[in-house]
A and B are shown apart, each in its own frame.
Chain A
Amino acid sequence: MSDAAAHEFQFSSAAHQRETAISGIWLFLATEALFFGPIFLAWIYARLADPSAFDAGGRQTELAIGVTNTALLIASSFAYGVGLACIEFGSRRGMVLWLLIAWALGAAFIGLKFGVEWRMDLEKGLFPGATFSVHGPSRSGAQLFFAFYFFSTALHGLHLLVGLALLAWIIAKARQFTSERHSPVRAVGLYWSFIDIIWLILFPLIYLIGRAS
């Protein structure tokens, strides 16, 4: 299988193998979408039941960090896209460069989110429980908001870490890819963009809705 033209014996050609692999990734992303679906559904449902408390919770979040992180992730997906275009045009060096940028932007998101923002949140006493710092009538609903917040950002962060590992793997194996054969680069790119899309749904749920009302 190490030979460039080779394909596994159940496929009729290397191209057949490549398109099959990409179908698999798309299907996997469908699974992932249904995985995150319940959080979004439960979140919106819970907010409808108690909007004022949710909004009170939402106003406690760090908007500046949220906006910065959103920009980081979008830029990272963009960088990945440029990297993918580079390998399609045969520039392996360009691909590595842009993927390194994408990786760094993703890592910056993780650092900012968990190193800075979470620490601020915890110091402000926003983790639900007896020490929760929001008082008054919104206390219980705001706790619910932050239960969602910590749960979903942790899960999203975990996906991002997996994505960073995959990116590192692609960069490490960059020598194998050519303008014809690079379906792993494409596959990881789909996953990387997917994580981005999940964030683009979380971002308004966390930072914007509470401030808009």
Chain B
Amino acid sequence: MNGYWPSATTEGREVDVLLLALLLVSCAVLALVFGLILLYMIRYRAGSGVSRGERSHKTWRFEISWTAATLAIFFGLFIWGGDLYVRLFQPPADALQIYVVGKQWMWKVEHQGGQREINALHIPINRPIQLVMTSEDVIHDFAVPAFRIKHDVLPGRYQTLWFQVDRIGVFQLFCTQLCGVGHYTMTGEVVAMSQPDFENWLASGAAPEGHEDMAAAGKDLFTAHGCSGCHGEGGVGGSPETTGIAAPALSGLYGRSVKLQTGATVTADDKFIRDCILTPDKTPVAGYPLIMPSFAGQISEEKVLRLIAYIKSLKSGSRT
């Protein structure tokens, strides 16, 4: 394993600069505190005859000045850290999405082309990567120290994490949220490759199982679980005339805004589609009766991800 330092991402190097600044501030304060304590310990030790002169009894001038100084420094650090944090967690729009499912005790990765890997993540360099992560059981945490980044992976929801690596290399991956006895074994590696190498890797079937495009696999599930029975083949939507029941169209749904019965409007992202499948009563779509059954406990997180990939692939009006 190599390449911890300097960080392999631009943002990671910025984090290092922030850490350096924090280190310098800390050293300055420590030097001041220890310096004064040592100075006074020597100069004002009980046996020393040095003149103590007039002692100041009014303390508020000192209090105000060191409180103000502390506040100013803290505020600066707060702004710096906060600004960088916001950028760390706002992915660019064109990021390549890769799906990650954590379970006791392994990382399962699935690429859009259906290539799967375990405890490893292959990525191309110089391209923003967005991970969509969820957990099958307890809380895990996806951490890559070389990118100075991590995020918890929770059951029941999607967390995203993005980064853009600008160097070829192999970087350590850790789970950093205690997830049971095998916590320490839940490690792996992120392999950053050049774009052509990455494409070769994708094409060579590096994944052990014969893989199928995620959306295509999702399409099979769409039929197998009876989704098409109401939402129609290809998710064109259902009506009492066609499918016998009114069901919203799913083609072109991804990224659109959807009006709910509660009056709220939400954007149909990964999380929304997941909620619609697993907890449909939480997201009652305006204009349709609340009759969709919950699929919670019936399909695994990985299958949900494939279904989502399929729904994403449905362009408006198209019949795949």
Contacts and interface: CB of A to CB of B under 8 A. Distances in A.
Whether A and B touch directly in their complex, counting CB atoms under 8 A apart, is answered as yes
Interface of A: 49-53, 136-141
Nearest to A137: B281
Interface stretch (B38-46, B94-102, B118-126, B286-294): B286-294
A43 B262 CA distance: 19
Nearest to A141: B281
Nearest to B297: A140
Contacts of B281: 50, 52-53, 137-138, 141
B284 A52 contact: yes
Nearest to A49: B282
Contacts of A140: 279, 294, 296
A53 B296 CA distance: 15
Which of B281, B290, B293, B296 has most A Cβ within 10 Å? B281
Contacts of B284: 52
Interface of B: 262, 279-282, 284, 290-294, 296
A137 B284 CA distance: 10
A58 B279 CA distance: 18
Contacts of B290: 52, 137
B293 A141 contact: no
Contacts of A139: 294
Contacts of B293: 136-137
Contacts of B296: 140
By Cβ-Cβ distance, the 9 closest A-B pairs, closest first, are A137-B281, A50-B282, A137-B280, A53-B281, A138-B281, A52-B281, A137-B294, A137-B290, A140-B296
A9 to B, nearest CB: 40
A87 to B, nearest CB: 53
A49 B279 CA distance: 11
A139 B280 CA distance: 11
23 contacts: A49-B282, A50-B279, A50-B281, A51-B262, A52-B281, A52-B282, A52-B284, A52-B290, A53-B281, A136-B293, A137-B279, A137-B290, A137-B291, A137-B292, A137-B293, A137-B294, A139-B294, A140-B279, A140-B294, A140-B296, A141-B279, A141-B281, A141-B282
A50 B290 CA distance: 14
Contacts of B294: 137, 139-140
Contacts of B291: 137
A138 B279 CA distance: 8
A139 B281 CA distance: 9
Given A136-B293, A137-B294, A139-B294, 12 more contacts: A49-B282, A50-B282, A52-B281, A52-B282, A52-B290, A53-B282, A137-B279, A137-B292, A140-B296, A141-B279, A141-B281, A141-B282
Contacts of B280: 137
A140 B279 CA distance: 8
A46 B37 CA distance: 53
A141 B292 CA distance: 15
Nearest to B282: A50
Contacts of B292: 137
A140 B293 CA distance: 11
B173 to A, nearest CB: 32
A62 to B, nearest CB: 23
A136 B290 CA distance: 9
A53 B262 CA distance: 13
Contacts of B279: 50, 137, 140-141
A63 B69 CA distance: 61
Contacts of A141: 279, 281-282
Contacts of B282: 49-50, 52-53, 141
A141 B296 CA distance: 12
A49 B157 CA distance: 13
A58 to B, nearest CB: 14
Nearest to A52: B281
